[in-house]
Structure 1
Amino acid sequence: MLPAVILASLLVALATALPLSRNPHWLIRGLDFPRFQLAVLAALVLLAQWLLLDYSHAWAWGLSAAVLVCLCWQLSWILPYTRLWRKEVRAASSADADRCLSILTANVLTPNRQAHKLVALVEQHQPDILVTLESDQWWEDQLACLELTMPHTIKCPLDNLYGMHVYSRLPLDETYIDFLVEDDVPSMHTRVRLRSGDWVRAHFLHPAPPSPTENPESAERDAELVVVARSIADSDQPLIVTGDLNDVAWSRTTRLFRKISGLLDPRVGRGMFNTFHARYPLLRWPLDHLFHSQHFTVANIRRMPAIGSDHFPLYSRLVFSPLKGRAQNGLESDATDQALADALKDGQAVSRADVPTPGE
């Protein structure tokens, strides 16, 4: 047992230390994802150490101290996504329907053939906007029934796991489908008119992940997030960014996106809302996101029931409250963050000028 405890201790330390590097390789960046699982593992290893190690030896104290540091480090990343943290976005004090914007974001998984489950969710919860990811022509055909009540659409069916569709009850304007970093990975950009008459700029994203079957490095994903963040940073428009970012809420890249863009995360202080993996309860993390400008407060955010995909849908209901939202503050960038953002975008030869900016 003792060798196993020592080996587990070293593995916890290695898994914690590797993401400190800015190496973009998928194996290293992938260790950003299971921070909660690594925190649980570190706690179990500490318990095993307390039961099995001989603390008359200095090395035993050193080994326990190293694992304790790892546990604290992992917790520092995930605690903001628990109810122990102060909420970043204020709760809506009213739910005036004319000022509400509800969005259902769903990575449907292209080979999934249970479209009726998503249609049923839409009919039950009546979101203003449905965003589907990984939707191909088959999915477009199955969701055509939604256009009776959600007639405003953006469609980009693809067979490469990066198709996207938007269905909206609210009018859309200045709609763009763009391929910012990779020729086969689209993003969508538009303006949404609320029932109150106010316009909201929206960006729908699904960058490719770093993985052995996709991109061996995170450079493409990181560059897309950075240039969209840069395009948003100086805008005073009400703004929404949602989609499957193929990155966890607490990663360095997603935090950089929030710092550069100035957008808020309604999950901070409310929960993780783990949307992936739907089939493996012990291996779940938040891959599907919604960020917004300080113009909004949050009425509701929750993970929806499974639809046969490897992702759960995410439902968010925001209220346009620009006066109340003025007191809300997110993360702030510094010179180091800006330099890192420059390096990420320059590596992919893409700039903020490539990002459509509806309404500006």
Structure 2
Amino acid sequence: MVRMLRPLTRAVTYTRWLHLAVATVWPTLWLFIEEALWTQVTAAVLLGLAGLVPATRVVEGFQARLLLTGRRQDGESADIVTTPSATWADRGRTVVWLEARLCLGWVVTHLTVQLPLLAVDLLTTGLGFGPAADGFVTVEENHWWHAVLAPVPLALSLVVVVWSGHLATALAGQLLGPSRAERMAALEERTEQLLERTRIARELHDSIGHALTVAVVQAGAARAAGDPAFTDRALSAIEETGRTALEDLERVLGVLRESGKPVSGRPTLADADRLLDSARASGAKVDAEVTGPVDSVPGPVSREGYRILQEALTNVLRHAGAVPVSVRVHAGDGTLVLAIRNPLPAAIPGPGRGSGLRGIRERAALLGGRARTGPDEGDWQVHVELPLS
């Protein structure tokens, strides 16, 4: 019983009734002036013409959001949109909504007025008096049981108010909701946002992860060495790596703060020397060979190549420590090849484990390339091929 009565305690139940009643105000006033069928036909025609105006969907959308849902929905993916009609299909759905709202409003307002009048007639005739109201149903004669039936029309009027509100809300969702094209556009925008968030997370992982790894390795080596000169070099390396990481962090936070801000200042393979120097300062014996016109590699490929190299060197320092590392970078024949090899560490990361290796493969796949990571002839290898076109 409590569940059945709960809708009657919600304000949105009555704002939905108001939304339907408002649609019939001006046709009703017109009907009082000129009692003829043509007035109702004219009202329906005028509404149909109004629905063809693109801005009508904006007005109807705001009304429906406020009165039918009881809250303001943001975003183009909301159940009820507030954008102008962009296609004739949108205009057609708006016309259908206006006509449906008018017809449903007529029925609901008529019933919610006449049913209470019927309840009054039943009560007065049940008490031995004549009908007190002029309703659409005439109550004949006086019977005591009329008073017993008096609450029934009142209950029916409440049912009409509740269920007509649900029906109007459902119709609004279908007729004032986003079209298929708008849903696809919203989905594409959402996908772009998720991809951007994933890219930013990957950028932070690679940059901050590399800086922290270098700092931990350098600090541990300096403490173990006990050599003031080595400690100074280690602190300098930590300072330089930390400064670079802070620059990357500020850049990424700037993108987050200003969604329309273009992404700029990201490091490329032209800055690979600082990665190699950082790895060497951490104790790794890096043998690097760069061949081909690396400086002319397209920007997106060069930037992703830098991050792949950074993640590969970070994994070396994190899992293998100060070991010999072979780095080969070759640009030519329409392909950028990155090959990083080092002796197998004691604990071998399994395929697909860790976000770093997964990030390498995802970066390569997004550019149409391929990546292989894992043991190879006694070494751990990261072999990536990225198309330059």
TM-score, length-scaled by structure 2? 0.25
Larger Rg: 1 or 2? Answer: 2
Q: Which has the higher contact order (CA 8 A, sep 6+)?
A: 1
Q: Which has the higher helix share?
A: 2
TM-score, length-scaled by structure 1? 0.26
